[in-house]
Amino acid sequence: MEFIPGDTVPVSGVYRVEHDAHRLMHEAALLVDTRFPRCKQCNDAVRFRLVRPVVDSQVLPFRVHAFLEEYCEPEEPMASIG
């Protein structure tokens, strides 16, 4: 199954990360119930596939690094006051 930025991570584990042509595939450890991150360069043109789940006793904190950043919901425009 393939995931996109903003989807909820269904299982803690190591995910294969495929970018839109600017970088080779790599892996990232992600935690269940967090959001799949965006790429700093190709934004939402990045895809994720589970490589291997992790045992509950293992800890895999997501660390923002050179290529991925936390997914943040876009802010809604404020309604005009008038």
Structure tokens at 33: 């119930």
Vertex 8: Cα angle to 39 and 54 (nearest 5): 90
With CA atoms as reference, report the closest residue to 55 among 1, 12, 2. 12
Query: How do residues 38-51 score in pLDDT, each as one tens digit?
Result: 988 888 999 999 99
pLDDT of residue 7: 97
**Which residue numbers in the chain have pLDDT < 50?**
none
DSSP string covering 48-69: EEEEEE--TT--------SSEE
